[in-house]
Structure 1
Amino acid sequence: MELELRHARIVVTINTAGSISAGAQELGLPQPSLTAQLRRIERAVGGDLFVRSRSGVTPTELGARLVPRLADLVRRADEVMAEALASSGGPLRLGCAEWTPPTLRDALQAALPGNTVQTQTLAPEAAAEAVQRGALAAALVPRVPEPADGDGGGDGDGGEPALGHALIVREPVWLAVPLGHPLTARESVGSDELAELTDRAGLAWVRSSQDHWFRTVERRVLGGGAAPGRVLHHVNSHQEAMNWVRGMDVAALTTPSGAVPGVALVPVTDTERVELVLLWRGNAVSRETLHTLVDTVRAYYCGYARSLPAYWSWIQEHRDEYRELGRHLPQPVVA
């Protein structure tokens, strides 16, 4: 096997992340696939690049010699591509899934006056694929965290990895009900109560269609609850679900960014979280532009959260769970 730029990026990412599992998260790859690719790379260079342990990875003697050279190769390639893209004068195309407020594009355009920013709403998988093939510069997509695996297994190549990502925010999954519903008097409901509410409170539900990404989240949160006889409709978007909640006096699960006026959110304890992440192809966007994109989206999200007073209060009370928002959160008041 001949070494390619993507192989250099794999090695550099694993070294920077400190473990194969963290590297897989950074590259948007299944961990077994990344492990298999690293083995192929190590066979190509004639030896192990890392020593694996429970605490992560450390470079071997061979790795200590090669990793800095591979890192320099990746850096130079990124600089070349960023300069080429900047000189092309084309628009910066950003994909979004579910959450695409018109004013988000305006905020990004103001932060990047040298670019023409265009946004497009796609399903998460389609957005990631468009970034991978270069049709989009980056994409803002939801991701359902997978349970942690071990650092082994797998043979498949998984294709071109080269997708970087930055976590914007980890959103809780809450209960959406119509304004004035009796459950709005509750400060929160337990995740173990949701299954009971179907029968005890006569609660009807609207849930996601079989092929929608949020289906996995609903299954984890509701378990065997919301029996098929109490599900009135299956939807293909949060917006459609919220329209049913508002108009048909039913309940649904949603992230706060899926809320709309006329719908009340009730916090769910011990709930799942959905990661809102920015994806990009490693050599398609300059580091300066990436920093601006990430910082602007985080700032915009905080502004959006302020429009939901109950959620904004929740964020401030649980600020340790929102460290990724960093400086965009107000400092706690010290008595």
Structure 2
Amino acid sequence: MNIELRHARIVSVICRSGSISKAAADLGVPQSSLTAQLRRIEKAVGGPLFVRSASGVVPTVLGERLLPMLTELVHRADMVIVEAAAHASSSMFRFGNADWTPPSLLSALQDSLPGTEVRTETLRPDAAVDAVRRGWLNAAMVPCSSFVEPDDHVEIDTAVIVREPVWLALTPGHPLCAEFSVDACHLASLKWVRYARDHWFHPMEKDLFARLPVAEPEVLHYVHGHHEAMSWVRDAGAAALTTPTGATKDVALVPLAETESTEMVLIWRSGSVDRATLAQLVETVRGYYCAYARTIPRYWSWMAEHPAKFPQLLRYLQMA
């Protein structure tokens, strides 16, 4: 068997992950399949590349010699892809977004970049970061800057668009909808829909649930996105935590007295977007956020009453 780029990428991901199971998840393949591929690669190079243990994998002596070269091969191949994509897509702007992408966002981006075809894609935050690094996307929105981990090869720049609070979503007409805000004591008796453990919103939700005065409130279902959560609120009478712009128009939103905030962060590959386009992009996304927030009356009035919580949007709030 000849060593190919895909083999180099496999061992590079395993080395970076430090675990066969984590690497399999990153590559989107079954662990058994990845283990079998690794055995074939190790046979081709003449020996094991990793020592396996219950805590993960570490390079063997052979691995310490070969892995840096294989990783560099992957990096150089990625740079070729990035440069080729940049040349081929000079008249196209690819924009990624996490969780869901309204058609109106595509329209706003397209209007702001005349003469350039804009294409949007919805994907997981970690996948969006990876796509920006590889040049498959020109820019993307992710819900937290912590998704952008340091990389020795490709630097990512960021700009915070807005810090958005987490609120409570309820069925319209629920008694708590009449409250100015709710605190932990109001939440303990509700039936909940919660987010799957691998969803980006789960850690924030977990922190808020830890403040409830009961050990484990009733959970009807675990979802993998805000819009699925809203369907359970609407159709099953559940309660859910959400960002206000993650809610749908058929549910009611109530502020939480003590809440967390999520970041909406614009990311792009350093040096890949010219300053004028970048400034226009930031302006467009912030303006779009405010326009969308205006369609949520309770949230927009709350924003106007708490301008200090939205420093990036002050000029939009002052124009209201």
1:180 — aligned with what? 173
Q: CA deviation at 1:159?
A: 3.7
For residue 264 of structure 1, report the CA deviation from its aligned partner: 0.5
Q: Structure 1: which amino acid aligns with 2:250?
A: G
Larger RCO (alpha carbons 8 Å, 6+ apart): 1
From 295, 312, 324, the equivalent of 2:312 is: 324
**CA deviation digits over 1:87-126, x for unaligned, max 9?**
8534100000024110111011011002100000001110
Of residues 259, 264, 272 in structure 1, which corresponds to 2:252? 264
Structure-2 residue corresponding to 1:61: none
Aligned amino acid, residue 175 of structure 1? L
**Residue pair 2:166, 2:256 contacting (<8 A) in 1 also:** yes
Partner SS state of residue 176, structure 1: strand
Aligned mate of 1:205, from 173, 192, 207: 192
Partner in structure 2 of residue 108 of structure 1: 109
Q: Is the 8 A contact 1:92 1:115 kept in 2?
A: yes
Aligned residues: 236
Work out whether residues 145 and 275 of structure 1, in 8 Å CA contact, stay in contact via their aligned partners in 2.
no
Who is 2:137 aligned against?
136
Offset from partner CA, 1:161-194 (integer Å, 9 cap, x none): 511111111000000001011110101012x325
Q: Where does residue 97 of structure 1 map in the other structure?
A: 98
Deviation string for 1:18-48 (max 9, x for gaps)? xxxxxxxxxxxxxxxxxxxxxxxxxxxxxxx
Separation (CA, whole Å) in 1 of partners of 2:101 and 2:263: 16
Are 2:91 and 2:115, in contact at CA under 8 Å, matched by a contact in 1? Answer: no
After TM superposition, the structure 1 = structure 2 runs for residues 244-323 of structure 1, keeping only pairs within 5 Å, are 244-323=232-311
Stretch moving more, 119-128 or 281-290: 281-290
**Structure 1: distance between partners of 2:217 and 2:96:** 36
* Structure 2 Cα separation of the partners of residues 90 and 138 of structure 1: 14
In structure 2, how many angstroms separate the alpha carbons of the residues matched to 1:87 and 1:176? 44
Identity of aligned residues (%): 49
Looking at structure 1, the residues matched to 224 and 252 of structure 2 have their Cα atoms a distance apart, in angstroms, of 20
Asked if the contact 1:165/1:279 (under 8 Å) is kept, the reply is yes
1:236, CA displacement in angstroms?
0.5
- 1:160 — aligned with what? 153
1:235–1:291 distance in 2 versus 1, CA, 3 Å:
same
Q: 2:223: which partner in 1?
A: 235
TM-score, normalising length: structure 2: 0.69
In 2, are the aligned partners of 1:111 and 1:296 still within 8 Å (CA)? Answer: yes
Q: Residues 272, 229 of structure 1: CA spacing in aligned structure 2 closer, same or farther, 3 A cutoff?
A: closer
Alignment-mate amino acid for residue 246 of structure 1: R
Q: Could you say which residue in structure 2 is the equivalent of 1:216?
A: 203
Distance 1:86 1:300, change over 3 A: farther
What is the RMSD computed on CA atoms of the aligned residues? Answer: 2.4
168-177 vs 229-238, which deviates more?
229-238
Task: Give 4+ residue runs of structure 1 displaced > 3 Å after superposition.
Answer: 84-90, 156-161, 224-229
Instruction: Extract unaligned runs of 5+ from structure 2.
Output: 1-81
SS at match of 1:329: helix
Matched residue, 1:3: none
For the residues of structure 2 that align with 1:286 and 1:85, how far apart are their CA atoms?
13
Question: Secondary structure, in 3 states, of the residue corresponding to 2:268?
Answer: strand
Are the structure 2 counterparts of residues 227 and 207 from structure 1 closer, same or farther at C-alpha, using a change threshold of 3 Å?
Answer: farther
Flag the 1:133–1:85 CA change in 2: closer, same or farther, 3 A.
closer
Instruction: Note closer, same or farther for the CA distance 1:116–1:324 as it changes in structure 2 (3 Å cut).
Output: same
